[in-house]
Amino acid sequence: MKRIYILAMLFIIGIIGFGLFYAEGSLPAQPTVKTKQNFVIAKGDSVNKIINNLEKQGFIRNRLVFFIIVKQLDIENKIQAGLFRISPSMRAKDVALTLTHGSDDVWVTVIEGLRKEEIAQILSDDVGIPESEFIKRAQEGTLFPDTYLIPRDATIDQVLNTFASNFNKKYSDTLRSQARAQGLSDNDVLILASIVEREANSFQTMKQVASILRKRLKEGYPLQVDATVQYALGYQEEENSWWKKSLSLEDLKISSLYNTYTHTGLPPGPIGSPGLSAITAIIESDTDTPYLYYISNKDGSQLHYARTLDEHNENIRKYLR
């Protein structure tokens, strides 16, 4: 009987102890801090990572208690990615429920190589930014490809500032200095990188194409890049695309400074937004490459290089006809 009594007492003490532990862990982390602060949940973050971040940033007292609360509320799969405004003075249960009520911001993904008209459409669809106004004010080539967290009520100025801040962060002073050491201005880098982004699909092929383009510029050859002609042609209604798939001989004669078949040197500006790999490929390119020409095969999966026009024409015969 005595043993049963002791076990019962230990059980009761354990229940009371856990209750006190749970109650203490449910309290606000900082009761006197009433100001709401930003808390970001990235896409793909696990519940454990979210809880760890909440504790690190001072929004909850106890990770274990918060996890138990999430389980009790059955909201483990209802927590959303995004930006949330929460206060350290909120109880743990209120914090947990807030993370299921929808983010104040929207995740917007801009992939590499898009022109500003395509980015404008994404922003219009996702956060209601007027396309025409964005196109008018955005600077081609500087809308850095990335995933952004943008307020639902963001203005064009806020969106453009977000892009500019990220661009200046990614295209760092170190990269700019390396470009200048190669005799390249920021505009040169962005124009060439935007072309390479459309023409190649891996870092190694980007470097090779970048080297060829810079060698052609150095030796006075026209670049003869299809992507610049596609940019000049603009929107193709029948294809519902800003990038025409198959160029005709007439297309290659289009009157435009972006037509690198009829004009030597660089086009007037970038033809899209290059990513960091394309920018780095330009800076690390080598004008001593033995190649002057390249083509991609019909499905665009592989590039073929040539030293002479005869080799280039043979590649065309082998891979494009």
> pTM here?
0.75
Asked which of 27-31, 112-116, 216-220 is least confident by mean pLDDT, the reply is 27-31
pLDDT, tens only, 9-60: 656 665 665 556 666 776 787 888 888 888 888 878 898 899 899 898 998 8
**Under 8 Å CB-to-CB from 122, ≥6 apart: which residues?**
108, 109, 110, 114
By the 10 Å C-beta count (0-12 exposed, 13-18 middle, 19+ buried), 249 is classed as: exposed
Predicted local distance difference test score (pLDDT) of residue 198:
95
Predicted local distance difference test score (pLDDT) of residue 14:
57
Beta bridge partners of 109: 147
Locate 247 and state its tokens: 């160029």
What pLDDT band is residue 308 in, cutting at 50, 70 and 90?
very high
Considering the four listed CATH numbers 3.30.428.10, 3.40.50.620, 3.30.1490.480, 1.10.3720.10, the one that applies to the domain covering 27-98 is 3.30.1490.480
Nearest residue to 293 via CA among 227, 246, 224: 224
Cα separation values, 78 from 81, 101, 151, 248, Å: 10, 9, 21, 51
What pLDDT band is residue 124 in, cutting at 50, 70 and 90?
very high
The C-alpha atoms of residue 167 and residue 173 are separated, in whole angstroms, by: 11
What pLDDT band is residue 111 in, cutting at 50, 70 and 90?
very high
